[in-house]
Amino acid sequence: MKKDLLTVKELAAELRMSPKSIQRAYRKEEIPVQWLGRMARFDLAKVQRAMERKVNSVDRRFPAD
């Protein structure tokens, strides 16, 4: 069974990042977060799209020579 929403720890494991990096990203509003009470939950597909958009926007600001 596939889970729809992941915890910080689960998302960090999926993306091979530290939980601290995930927390920093959602606090800076770089990745989408859903709040269930006081618990942060993440949709993996939405997070991956947000990260891809961020990478693409950086590429446009710093084009290769």
pLDDT at 62: 60
Q: Determine how many CB atoms are found less than 10 A away from the CB of residue 43.
A: 18
Residue indicated by tokens 């020579």: 65
DSSP-assigned beta bridge partners for residue 57: none
Model-wide pTM > 0.85: no
Count how many Cα atoms sit within 13 Å of the Cα of residue 58 in the half-sphere of its side chain: 7
Question: Is the pLDDT reported for residue 38 higher than 70?
Answer: yes
Between 63 and 22, the more confident residue is 22
Q: What angle do CA 42, 26, 35 make, to 5 degrees?
A: 50
pLDDT at 54: 83
pLDDT at 19: 98
**In this structure, what DSSP letter does residue 40 have?**
E
Give me the mean pLDDT over the 15-26 stretch.
Answer: 97
Question: Is the pLDDT reported for residue 32 higher than 90?
Answer: yes
